[in-house]
Amino acid sequence: MKYLLILIPMALLPLVLNDFWLSQVLTRALIMGTIALSLSFLATYLGVVSFAQVTLAGVAGYAIAYFGPNTVGVGVPLPLIVTIPLALILAMAAGAMMGYIARRSRGIYAIMITLAIGVAFFYFTRQNYVLFNGFTGFSGVIAPALGEGNWGDPKPLYFLSLIVAAICVGLVQGFVRSPLGLAVQAVRDAPGRLLALGIPTTLPIVAAFAFSGLIAGSGGILNVWFQERVSSFSVGFGPIIDILIISVIGGLRHPTGAFVGAIVYVVLDIFAIDLIDRDRFNLLIGIVLLLIIVAAPNGLTQLITDGAKKLRGGAAKSRTT
């Protein structure tokens, strides 16, 4: 219910914000946050840091472009009610495959494997013209029509992203309480013990990655409608690092922290350009990241919740005295 306290004000924001703020700050943060949520989910509940969540988002994005309207003349347009589920299923299948490949890997090894998958996908999209249209990728990927305009317009896309983000957070919370979600956390804590209970570890691992593909894929679909394009750059090193930074800023222990991280990141990204030039942005974000890691090793979200707890504790104390 406390999420309504966040959702309702956010749903009212379009009344006071102009389109630039809505699109370039909030919608972008919601989309990046959703993709980062898929990473935070894996890190929090499976204990695995994946560098290939952007890849999963990309799979869904490419599916929307290939099976939908685009201006490059590649692909097979299908009806929307087929395209969207298909994109999500492909992202989940890709996630499941990744999970299966990385099923025995933890820590640095899981990072290396997922990074290798991400990089391989990046180069593959550049070289393959039949499915991915090579280097240039797809452009003119317009969101479904909505009245006069389409779902990609600032206000509709903002609402859509907000709803999708809320659904994804809800899905994560539901999943981690389900028997399968409990098994995922058990793999994180003591895989051998789970085996000793007769539950093999591969199933929860593959399921967690597939589920993360669903979340990342949802973000990927929104992203391709937001950008109206998808190319190798959407799945390259840049976005991979961006998503990682967002998750770390938000705190890998808090799935919802991904959105806090995304807002911080996007605001810095936009306003730093006015102050310093584009090339220095990486320096700035690096410094911010460093400060956050030093000041709040568990991310901003932890810092905020701790602060809130302290405030509440203080308030309670002053009430009793």
Partner 1 sequence: MPLSDAHNTTANALETQGIGKRFGGFWAVKDVTFSVKPGERRAILGPNGAGKTSLFNILTGDYKASAGSIRLFGEDVTKQSIPKRINRGLRRTYQHAYLFDGLSVRDTLFLAVAGIRGGWRQVLPVRLSDPRRAEAERLAEVAGITQFLDRMVSDLSHGQRRQLEIGIALAEDPKVLLLDEPAAGLSPAERPQLSKLLLSLPKEVTVILIEHDMDIAFQTSESVTVLFNGELMAEGTPDEVMADKDVHQIYVGGAHGH
Alpha carbons 31 and 63: distance in angstroms, whole number: 17
Q: Determine the 3-state secondary structure of 145 from DSSP.
A: strand
CB nearer partner 1, residue 186 or residue 304: 186
CB nearer partner 1, residue 160 or residue 169: 169
Q: Shortest gap between Cβ of 108 and partner 1 (angstroms)?
A: 21
Task: Record the tokens describing residue 244, joined without a space.
Answer: 């990682």
Task: Record the tokens describing residue 113, joined without a space.
Answer: 């494997």
Alpha carbons 32 and 219: distance in angstroms, whole number: 7
Half-sphere exposure of 180 (CA within 13 A, CB side): 15
Q: Shortest gap between Cβ of 2 and partner 1 (angstroms)?
A: 19
Chain mean position to CA 260: 12
Which residues of the chain form contacts with partner 1 (CB under 8 A)? 178-180, 182-183, 185-186, 188-190, 192-200, 203-204
CB nearer partner 1, residue 29 or residue 110: 110
CB nearer partner 1, residue 16 or residue 197: 197
CB nearer partner 1, residue 45 or residue 259: 45
CB nearer partner 1, residue 197 or residue 275: 197
Q: Shortest gap between Cβ of 175 and partner 1 (angstroms)?
A: 9
Alpha carbons 63 and 55: distance in angstroms, whole number: 12
CB nearer partner 1, residue 67 or residue 175: 175
Q: Shortest gap between Cβ of 43 and partner 1 (angstroms)?
A: 13
Q: Shortest gap between Cβ of 274 and partner 1 (angstroms)?
A: 43
Q: Are the beta carbons of 114 and 42 closer than 8 angstroms?
A: no
Q: Shortest gap between Cβ of 293 and partner 1 (angstroms)?
A: 22
Written as one string, the DSSP assignment of 232-291 is: GGGGSHHHHHHHHHHHHHH-TT-TTHHHHHHHHHHHHHHHHHHHS-GGGHHHHHHHHHHH
Closest CA to 60 of 40, 36, 35: 35
User: E strand or H helix at 220, and its extent?
Assistant: helix 202-227
Q: Shortest gap between Cβ of 186 and partner 1 (angstroms)?
A: 5
Alpha carbons 69 and 181: distance in angstroms, whole number: 37
CB nearer partner 1, residue 139 or residue 185: 185
Alpha carbons 42 and 188: distance in angstroms, whole number: 10
Q: Shortest gap between Cβ of 31 and partner 1 (angstroms)?
A: 28
Q: Are the beta carbons of 250 and 261 closer than 8 angstroms?
A: yes
